[in-house]
């Protein structure tokens, strides 16, 4: 059996190039930190230094909770986030997912709540980022649909979401 070591070497090189980010707050004192990685659909990754061995309390309200359109999407690792990590993740999600209602809680307390974009006209998103210009707000639905289809056909490697008057009409 042959083992290909090249991806391991690439991963090792990536780890050495990423700066060691340390978030801290008074809450963090005397806690052991375990590094983990979070990546979006486009493969953009960032390092998270999470509290090791954290577990939720019996009410389930321990740590960070992230909701997209009313659905809990944060995993069990988010229970170990510090308050600073939770704020940074919440901000990042609000900036990269304007089409979704984002709600963020820390230890059961809401600290971020942003409704989805309800902009008039056409909005085009590549990998969660708005790429359409101001002129797209004046598109008819037919123009928006034609543009969306063209982008989906010419950019198969990109996650594309198309909205008209705040409503998703195509997504791939």
| Residue 6 included in any domain | no
Confirm if 103 and 113 have CB atoms less than 8 A apart.
yes
Q: How many domains does the chain have?
A: 2
Q: How far apart are CA 36 and CA 34, in angstroms?
A: 7
The confidence band for 26, taking pLDDT boundaries of 50, 70 and 90, is: very low
Under 8 Å CB-to-CB from 144, ≥6 apart: which residues? 121, 122, 136, 162, 164, 169
| Residue 9 included in any domain | no
* Span 72-112, pLDDT tens digits: 999 889 999 999 999 999 988 887 787 788 999 999 899 98
Based on the domain organization, do 35 and 110 belong to the same domain? yes
Tell me what pLDDT residue 153 has: 97
Q: How far apart are CA 56 and CA 95, in angstroms?
A: 28
Based on the domain organization, do 106 and 138 belong to the same domain? no
Q: How far apart are CA 64 and CA 87, in angstroms?
A: 9
Domain residues for the domain of 132 are 122-171
Sign of CA dihedral 73, 48, 8, 159: positive
Higher pLDDT pick, 6 / 110: 110
Based on the domain organization, do 70 and 133 belong to the same domain? no
Based on the domain organization, do 109 and 128 belong to the same domain? no
- Which of 114, 136, 160 is the C-terminal boundary of a domain? 114
Based on the domain organization, do 69 and 50 belong to the same domain? yes
Q: How far apart are CA 103 and CA 109, in angstroms?
A: 11
Higher pLDDT pick, 104 / 2: 104
* Span 101-131, pLDDT tens digits: 899 999 989 998 878 876 678 999 999 888 9
Based on the domain organization, do 88 and 36 belong to the same domain? yes
| Residue 10 included in any domain | no
Position 29 pLDDT exceeds 50: no
Q: Read off the pLDDT of each residue in 54-66 and give the average, rounded to a whole number.
A: 63
Higher pLDDT pick, 1 / 123: 123
Write down the pTM of the prediction.
0.41
Higher pLDDT pick, 66 / 120: 66
| Residue 11 included in any domain | no
| Residue 14 included in any domain | no
Tell me what pLDDT residue 40 has: 65
Based on the domain organization, do 94 and 31 belong to the same domain? yes
The confidence band for 160, taking pLDDT boundaries of 50, 70 and 90, is: very high
């Amino acid at each position: 059996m042959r083992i290909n070591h090249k991806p391991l070497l690439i991963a090792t090189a990536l780890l050495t190039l990423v700066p060691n980010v340390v978030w801290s707050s008074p809450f963090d004192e005397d806690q052991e930190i375990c590094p983990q990685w979070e990546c979006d659909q486009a493969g953009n990754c960032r390092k998270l230094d999470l509290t090791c061995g954290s577990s939720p309390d019996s009410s389930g309200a321990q740590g960070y909770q992230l909701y997209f359109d009313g659905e809990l999407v944060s995993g069990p690792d988010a229970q170990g986030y510090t308050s600073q990590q939770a704020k940074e993740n919440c901000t990042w999600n609000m900036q990269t997912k304007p089409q979704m209602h984002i709600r963020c809680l820390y230890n059961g307390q809401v600290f971020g709540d942003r409704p989805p974009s309800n902009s008039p006209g056409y909005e085009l998103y590549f990998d969660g980022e708005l790429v359409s210009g101001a002129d797209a707000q004046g598109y008819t639905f037919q123009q928006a649909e034609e543009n969306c289809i063209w982008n989906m056909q010419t950019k198969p490697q990109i996650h594309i979401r198309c909205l008209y008057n705040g409503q998703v009409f195509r997504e791939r």
